[in-house]
Structure 1
């Protein structure tokens, strides 16, 4: 029997109504309230005249001298971060400018209330519904190239072994010099960017090794994504590699600095995750043996990961099992009074305290964590509006992320079903991820499968159904 290989494409227009229905079902508001837009206009006016809204404390430095650049997916307009990295005799000096969203949102105002109802930006294949109106998130608050922008500027010293040294944060005016895309720097970096790519690689390597040495790990499991190309939807598996992961290491470094400041201040909101338990590690060790992944005596889980080739079937199955080690992530607010510091302050996968502060245009919690760090660095009291928000911030974030994850999964399921629907009854090559789940080699589909699934092995499966946003398979003997 022939094994089917097909090009995973479906017209965007065909599924746009399905995506709209998914958003409607999850009550995603695609229109911003008039009073929230009025707040945006007021913030834009203050910004244009170089002034500040009444709630903003302290002076704003002029750091437009810094040679900052942004690195994002092609076509991005909501630019949260701009960076400059310099090699020093002791290691590196990182300047990391983050969009100062807190300077544009009046606490308790209509825009503030609207962001609490949204929690985070929602991404669908046909459109993006921002946490903030695009006039703000893709306009005057975004770190667009050539634009004088209000930012929160982190200055981080990193030792040659990747350890975080001195860290400070301040409000500043900055100007990004250039907007790069990941593909541009990965495939053909311009001459003026080659030194940046090199220094980010060496810093990224040092940070990855530092995290591993401290007992942290990274999971290089490719994520399933929908891409839009000339009006056609495609499915692919992607993992952050090269310049993308180097860039992510700087964000993680900043999150480590923020968590350290919050714990020093006794106020903040940490991103926590329980560490992997010994019984879970032992279960994964047995699963590795069953799959055929080598786990030498005395080797740690991180060392096993380092030796894996993520592209192989066995590695795909192992990484699927390994994600179960790290569950229970949460946002844990604390204020030193009614909200005590959590018993476990670390993020299990990073093996150190960590906080979200680097994506305030797209995630609600970052605005509040940033204000704590600004107050701590300057020696001021944490603003009352921040303290008042902390008790409900963690649960609000969890609820919002659950909605976003459900929307993402339903959109991917809809694309899978549309791609596969004409091929019901045909046979495909797949890798067994667990005893009920397979991953097709082509197209990039993860689906449930009945029958005897051989975990970590290639096998033939037949498409049984592809309807109502779901595809299901049956093993072929």
Structure 2
């Protein structure tokens, strides 16, 4: 997802500099494009016909790289989620030019002014995308969801599917979705609560024009259908993780809980925003009560999302059980193969074990190599996101030099004090000798430099 939305294109010059600095690929090499054109004409030959199932897709209105299509039906007291995932592996052969380029990229990179896709558009936005303009090859995962939200993968098969509609978060109405859509999402949320899961999905930041002609960082409210749709993906990824772990194979997404220092910083951020956080209330319970419709709470949700020790990938190992703290369960990435390299191999492994076949050697070998490749891609994506946020913060504060802001020091390290502005979702550093975490400050903006993506503040008094 893009870290910041920029509907008025006020970040254009700075974004061009970010693309250059981080060497965001501007296009695909010609051999990759030529191979993709040939692959796009490949006729499915190992897929059963499931075009009678009434699949629909649900994504942002502008999206054309559609990884997932959904259909839901009742089965006694259970619900059956049929989750069709783009069959990227049908178009990409191990070692071909498309595959080699995907290994170089690792993920799709998102910026406010566009993306650098993992695969050429003729595939990612055409032949492999689950668009509603004809049959598409897919892998259908059939997931049984019990009344308490427990999930079980019952089947995985290659199939031809036909999406009935390209639905959008912004405009979808309940009558366009399967009748059980909201109930399935509710069950998954119920199971999350029972496990003590702590996923946080903050709204996206957006550069918005103010009445005085300047700009501000605002938050775009999340649509309820976004969170419900995320629950479907979670259900599939949890069910797949359980199967792969039982078969001693797979590539897992793992993450540790935020450490004590991170929680202390978050408590100081809450204080900066004027949000009460009782000392005895643990983070996992506190964040469940945050409201994304409140700008200050939305900003704190964003801080919580960034406060973890970082998710990474790990192949199955007999020496360490895979665990994802935010999900509170073993977890994989399998539902976005058009955007993440790792998903293509997790899907291939799942198809194998669910159909009584050995996992291909090429997939097992990939599991050993992917953590480094995906880690590098995730790090690059994070650096770009941070640069975009720094740029947006500098742009919105440009011209406000001399103004005074309330702030709270969130933590102090060898680089000085880090502070959270109380009225803006801005975290930056300041030279404030002697300031301890939790110190309230009044700070003056000395300089906002969009070209350098930098802010400079000085303390002007006690903010208490």
Number of residue equivalences: 442
**Residues 342 and 318 from structure 1, CA distance in 2 versus in 1: closer, same or farther, beyond 3 angstroms?**
farther
Is 1:438 aligned to 2:409, yes or no?
no
What is aligned with 1:470? Answer: 454
Give the drift of 1:308. Answer: 3.6
Which of 75, 82, 90 is the aligned partner of 1:103?
90
Once the two structures are TM-superposed, the CA of residue 283 in structure 1 deviates from its matched residue by 5.6
> Partners in 1 of 2:216 and 2:299 — Cα distance?
23
1:203 correspondence with 2:199: no
2:119 is matched with which residue: 132, 138, 141?
132
Q: Indicate if the aligned counterparts of 1:417 and 1:469 stay in contact, CA closer than 8 A.
A: yes
Pick aligned residue for 1:237 from 213, 219, 226: 219
Counterpart of 1:34 in structure 2 is 30
- Measured against aligned partners, the alpha-carbon deviations of 1:378-406 in whole angstroms (never above 9, x if no partner) come to 11111222122222111110001101111
2:39 is matched with 43
| TM-score, length-scaled by structure 2 | 0.84
**Among 82, 90, 94, the residue aligned to 2:77:** 90
Q: State the 1:174 CA deviation.
A: 0.5
Output the CA distance in 2 between the equivalents of 1:433 and 1:238: 25
Tell me if the contact between 1:10 and 1:233 (Cα under 8 Å) persists in the aligned partners: no
Within 1, Cα distance between the matches of 2:143 and 2:330?
16
**Cross-structure match for 2:12:** 16
TM-score (norm 1): 0.82
For the residues of structure 1 that align with 2:446 and 2:42, how far apart are their CA atoms?
59
Deviation per residue, 1:224-274 (Å, 9 max, x gap):
35589xxx9974334645211111111111111111121122111000112
Equivalent position of 1:150 in the other structure: 137
Pair 1:421 & 2:398 matched: yes
SS at match of 2:192: helix
Give the secondary-structure state (helix, strand or coil) at the position aligned to 2:92. Answer: coil
2:414 is aligned to none
Match for residue 51 of structure 2? 64
| Structure 1 contact 281–325 (Cα < 8 Å) conserved | yes
**Relative to structure 1, is the Cα distance of residues 156 and 164 closer, same or farther in structure 2, using a 3 angstrom cutoff?**
same
> How far apart, in 1, do the equivalents of 2:200 and 2:321 lie?
21
Partner of 1:120: 107
* Larger deviation, residues 61-70 vs 86-95: 86-95
1:409 aligns with 2:386: yes
**Residues 183-332 of structure 1 aligned to structure 2 (within 5 Å):** 183-185=170-172, 189=173, 192-193=175-176, 196=178, 199-225=180-206, 235-238=217-220, 240=222, 242-275=224-257, 293-295=276-278, 301-310=283-292, 315=297, 319=301, 322=304, 326-332=308-314
Question: Which residue is 1:378 aligned to?
Answer: 355
**Mapped contact 1:80–1:98 kept (Cα < 8 A):** yes
DSSP-derived class of the 1:345 partner: coil
The offset of 1:324, in angstroms, is 7.3
Contact 1:9 1:233 in 2 (8 A): no
> 1:276 offset after TM fit, Å?
5.6
Cα shift readout 1:429-448 (whole Å, capped 9, x = no counterpart): 66876662324646x54444
Q: As a proportion of its length, which structure holds more helix?
A: 1
- 1:150 and 1:317, CA in 2 relative to 1: closer, same or farther beyond 3 A? closer
Gaps of 5+ in 1: 1-7, 52-58, 335-339
Instruction: Give the Cα–Cα distance (whole angstroms) in 1 for the partners of residues 56 and 251 of structure 2.
Output: 28
Matched residue, 2:371 = 394
The aligned residue for residue 81 of structure 1 is 68
Gaps of 5+ in 2: 412-416
> Relative to 1, partners in 2 of residues 1:154 and 1:276: Cα closer, same or farther, differing over 3 Å?
same
2:34 is paired with a residue whose SS is: helix
1:263 aligned counterpart, secondary structure: helix
**Cα distance in 2 for residues equivalent to 1:256 and 1:9:** 34
CA shift for structure 1 position 150: 0.7
Deviation at 1:146, TM superposition (A): 2.7
Tell me: CA distance 1:256–1:464, structure 2 relative to 1, closer, same or farther (3 Å): same
Residue 357 of structure 1 and its aligned partner are, at CA, apart by: 0.5
Name the stretch that deviates more: 33-42 or 411-420: 411-420
Look up the SS of the partner of 2:171 in the other structure: helix
Structure 1 residues 470 and 178, CA, compared in 2 at 3 Å: closer, same or farther? same
Matched residues in 1 for 2:217 and 2:299: separation?
Answer: 19
Q: Please give the secondary structure, in 1, of the residue aligned with 2:375.
A: helix
Residue 80 of structure 2: SS of its match in structure 1?
strand
Query: What per-residue deviation string (whole Å, max 9, x for no partner) do you get for residues 18-64 of structure 1?
Result: 323322222222221222122212211213xx44xxxxxxx311111
CA contact (8 A) 2:85 2:336 kept: yes
Q: Deviations over 1:186-236 (max 9, x none)?
A: xxx2x732x53x6332222221121121122222544535589xxx99743
